[in-house]
Amino acid sequence: MFKHIDAYAGDPILSLVETFLQDPRPNKVNLGIGLYYDEDGRIPLLDVVKRTEIALAAAGLTRSYLPMEGLAAYRETVQRLVFGADRAAARDKRIVTVQTIGGSGALKVGADLLKRYFPDSGIWVSDPTWDNHRSMFDGAGIAVHDYPYYDPKSGGVRFAEMLATISSLPERSIVLLHPCCHNPTGVDLSQDQWRELFPVLIKKRLIPYFDMAYQGYGDGIDEDAWAVRALADAGGNFFVGNSFSKSLSLYGERCGALSVVCPDQAQADLLLGQLKFTVRRNYSSPPTHGGLIVSRILGDAASTAEWQAEVAKMRERIKAMRRSLHEVISARLPGRDFGYFLNQRGMFSYTGLSPAQVDTLREQHAVYLVNSGRICVAGLNLKNVAYVAEAMAAVM
């Protein structure tokens, strides 16, 4: 029956975790997957999350199904977090938000909906992008193409080429954008570059699709949402997927949302209906637990402030690790410019290491990073950063 099923080659990020776990070497370091580890190498359970869970358990809530679109309180608080407290588009009820199974669920629901209503549209993703972007949109039957993005020579963005490519796309093409903490490079557009891009997206009648999985890890919760909010203010109609995996350290709870900014309330209502239908025929409705945690935290001013302080600590720790890495590598290889470690934003850093150097790091030094040379800076801590920096310098 199943002889024709071919073997799964594995996922470039998740399969690396499996290899890492099997490695018996005590000095091994995992810089592969995008997870925030604290100074002790643990994935934190935030105090505010723990307290909220205790309160939820004490409340003894029953677990009926959620509506297809998710918890009302969750959708409302997420919308405020993504778009800011007082956005005109929200006041006009032009934004529709549904709770999804993580940021990936948001991508899948959006992709299915776009395939149904824009069957001929392709998607353009940055070169490079998160490996799974291609796979998810391809899986939804959407043709995936690249736009130029990272410039290995300068460590910046090939912005003129990016703009030229996007300007030449057919109407209604989908353009996937990272509003902050670009995955995998850590290189973001400047506000001036976003300002140049927006009129092109609008005038060319393109469909921007923001994937915001790292809000808070770049410069701050509001700062990192700047591009999303600015495009809403500029009158854009677009999709935004967001996630609480990293920002609330709720990876396994799969808390995400998909928002769509529409031209008017009537279209937003129609879209909500079709998003519900898309959810229903994928997985029926989202889970309760994570949605309750998030909506309780974001719905309470003191808990929100506490959470924001936790995010600030995580963000600052990552920046401190960037500085340490930069210091040791620069001392070991003088005359070379490693300033990119300091300029990149968020969890990830593109190191410029080749696949062969990545293999050597793993085989000889037990330091794991994905094949593209991306490291998750949040896997570094005071105990391993010098070791990693020395190992990297040895293969560079």
- CA dist list (Å): 142 to 107, 124, 152, 208: 12, 10, 28, 15
Minimum CB–partner distance for residue 108 and ligand LMR (Å): 13
| CB-based closest residue to ligand LMR | 34
Tokens for 30, please give them: 């995992």
Do residues 212 and 225 lie in contact, with contact meaning Cβ atoms separated by under 8 Å?
A: yes
Mask 188-217, x = binds ligand LMR (CB under 6 A)?
A: ------------------------------
The residue from 16, 30, 34, 175 that contacts ligand LMR (CB under 6 A) is 34
Minimum CB–partner distance for residue 272 and ligand LMR (Å): 27
The residue from 13, 82, 174, 227 that contacts ligand LMR (CB under 6 A) is 13
CB of 15 or CB of 154, closer to ligand LMR: 15
CB of 130 or CB of 137, closer to ligand LMR: 130
Minimum CB–partner distance for residue 134 and ligand LMR (Å): 12
Q: What is the DSSP letter of 204?
A: T
The residue from 183, 278, 344, 349 that contacts ligand LMR (CB under 6 A) is 183
Residues 120-139 that bind ligand LMR (CB under 6 A): 130, 132
The set of catalytic residues is 130, 211, 246
Minimum CB–partner distance for residue 105 and ligand LMR (Å): 12
- CA dist list (Å): 331 to 37, 357, 361: 26, 20, 19
Alpha helix stretches (DSSP H) within the chain:
14-22, 47-59, 72-83, 88-91, 102-117, 131-139, 159-167, 191-203, 221-224, 226-233, 265-282, 288-298, 301-332, 340-343, 355-365, 385-395
Q: Are strands 207-212 and 174-177 parallel, antiparallel or unpaired?
A: parallel
In angstroms, the CA 266 to CA 261 distance is 12
- Site size with ligand LMR, rule: CB under 6 A: 6
CB of 137 or CB of 198, closer to ligand LMR: 137
Minimum CB–partner distance for residue 318 and ligand LMR (Å): 14
Mask 153-182, x = binds ligand LMR (CB under 6 A)?
A: ------------------------------
Under rule CB under 6 A, residue 33 binds ligand LMR = yes
CB of 33 or CB of 260, closer to ligand LMR: 33
Do residues 272 and 98 lie in contact, with contact meaning Cβ atoms separated by under 8 Å?
A: yes
CB of 111 or CB of 206, closer to ligand LMR: 111
CB of 33 or CB of 268, closer to ligand LMR: 33
Which residues, 6+ apart, have CB-to-CB distance to 189 below 8 Å? 157, 159, 197, 227
Give the chain's end-to-end CA distance (angstroms, integer).
49
In angstroms, the CA 180 to CA 219 distance is 9
Do residues 256 and 243 lie in contact, with contact meaning Cβ atoms separated by under 8 Å?
A: yes
Residues forming contacts to ligand LMR in the complex (CB under 6 A) are 13, 33-34, 130, 132, 183
